[in-house]
């Protein structure tokens, strides 16, 4: 019933995955005080090397991208060295790993970077407080100037180059879940009236500039993007968002990325303005390799792949609960059920 997950999958001329089970990016807030990955993190990832591809926890491209405690970075020499230790451990166990590149935009908090502006598409705050730091409420961001945008694009590209230096097999740009890139892609957070706002083409511009800058540095074969056409996390819904993604996805298809990854916690959720599930919507507008995710089991994910709903399956929470998830699925063994208490330690 899950045998199709164990067929190899060729992403492109550069990368072939040994199976179709990906480890989804999972923030664990366990880097050290300089946002350097630790030995415990290297061990944690190495235990999961049987995944066809590991996508690292979201990793900030520069200090003002930080919105949660102890999330790793990829902008200092020490951080690059820390990640080298991780990628070597994964490769030694026969695995592959991409770095997920992150800037939280308006979900950032100056508490983490010693003060200064919080940048977003527009001066529209997200409501609420920082998880695990409930005393910190989000502040109204500064709308990024054209100069800020240029700097951000170049810092994404530098972080991608740093990821290659750290030994990653590629990068997944975090364009999902209401963080910076996603903030440009939705009307709720993008109220700009310049060439980065108002029309689908303009609202897609920042995402495409980041993608193109990274492709120019490390090649399209090693570049992927995660997107959330359905607004549901750190973001308000607006039916006009559909047109933005209708423009963006065909543009991405021209660029021969390694894959596009859905950003969703539960793919059973239906969005009126997408005419259904996020994965079905993406399948309609994006003809290339698509990674599905969101409350799937190996069985339901294998069935979805058999029905061509997507090509590869990313598994998140079950991978926290089961370091040997892939072996268990292969052997038909029961998996341990995830619960939030498991976030307290790296097993």
Mention every residue, 6+ apart, whose C-beta is less than 8 A from residue 86.
37, 41, 42, 45, 46, 56, 97, 166
- Which residue among 101, 176, 207, 278 contacts ligand FNR (CB under 6 A)? 176
Which of 263, 292, 309, 329 touches ligand FNR by CB under 6 A?
263
Query: Which one, 125 or 321, has the nearer CB to ligand FNR?
Result: 321
**In 3D, which of 334, 23, 331, 38 has the Cα closest to residue 172?**
23
> What's the N-to-C CA distance of the chain in angstroms?
28
Q: Which residue is nearest to ligand 8K6 (CB)?
A: 27
Q: Which of 9, 44, 45, 68 binds ligand 8K6 (CB under 6 A)?
A: 68
Binding of residue 52 to ligand FNR (CB under 6 A)? no
Minimum distance of ligand FNR from residue 269's CB (angstroms): 11
**Is residue 186 classed exposed, middle or buried when 0-12, 13-18 and 19+ CB atoms within 10 A define those classes?**
buried
The reply to whether 179 belongs to the active site is yes
Number of residues forming the site for ligand FNR (CB under 6 A): 21
- 152's CB contacts (< 8 A; 6+ apart) are 103, 119, 144, 180, 206, 210
Neighbours of 309 (CB within 10 A): 18
Task: Single out the residue of 5, 26, 60, 305 in contact with ligand FNR (rule: CB under 6 A).
Answer: 26
Does 233 help bind ligand 8K6 (rule: CB under 6 A)?
A: yes
Instruction: Report what 233 binds from ligand 8K6, ligand FNR, none; CB cut-off 5-8 Å by kind.
Output: ligand 8K6
- Partners of residue 21 on adjacent β-strands: 313
Active centre residues (catalytic): 179
Where along the sequence are the contacts to ligand 8K6 (CB under 6 A)?
A: 27, 58, 68, 131, 177, 232-233, 265
């Amino acid at each position: 019933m899950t045998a199709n997950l164990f067929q190899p999958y060729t992403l492109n001329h550069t990368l072939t995955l040994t199976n179709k089970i990906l480890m989804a990016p999972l923030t664990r807030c366990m880097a050290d005080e300089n946002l350097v990955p630790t030995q415990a993190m290297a061990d944690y990832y190495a235990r999961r090397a049987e995944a066809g591809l590991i996508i690292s926890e979201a990793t900030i491209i520069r200090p003002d991208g930080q919105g949660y405690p102890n999330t790793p970075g990829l902008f200092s020499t020490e951080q690059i060295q820390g990640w080298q230790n991780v990628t070597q451990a994964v490769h030694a166990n026969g695995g592959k790993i991409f770095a997920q590149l992150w800037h939280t935009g308006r979900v950032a908090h100056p508490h983490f970077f010693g003060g200064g502006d919080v940048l977003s598409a527009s001066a529209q705050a997200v409501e609420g407080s920082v998880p695990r730091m409930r005393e910190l409420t989000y502040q109204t961001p500064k709308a990024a100037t054209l100069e800020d945008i240029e700097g951000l694009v170049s810092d994404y590209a530098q972080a991608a180059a740093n990821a290659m230096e750290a030994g990653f097999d590629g990068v997944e740009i975090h364009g999902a879940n209401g963080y910076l890139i996603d903030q440009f892609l939705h009307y709720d957070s993008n109220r700009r009236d310049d060439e980065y706002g108002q029309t689908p083409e303009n609202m897609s511009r920042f995402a495409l500039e980041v993608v193109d800058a990274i492709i120019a540095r490390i090649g399209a074969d090693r570049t992927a993007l995660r997107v959330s056409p359905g607004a549901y996390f750190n973001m308000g819904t607006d039916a006009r968002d559909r047109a933005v993604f209708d423009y963006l996805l065909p543009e991405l298809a021209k660029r021969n990325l390694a894959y596009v990854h859905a950003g969703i916690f539960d793919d059973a959720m239906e969005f009126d303005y997408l005419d259904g599930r996020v994965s079905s919507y993406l399948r309609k507008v994006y003809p290339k390799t698509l990674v599905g995710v969101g409350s799937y089991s190996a069985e339901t994910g294998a069935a979805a792949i058999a029905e061509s709903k997507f090509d590869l399956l990313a598994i998140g929470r079950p991978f926290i609960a089961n370091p040997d998830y892939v072996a268990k699925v292969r052997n038909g063994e029961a998996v341990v059920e995830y619960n939030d208490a498991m976030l307290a330690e790296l097993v």
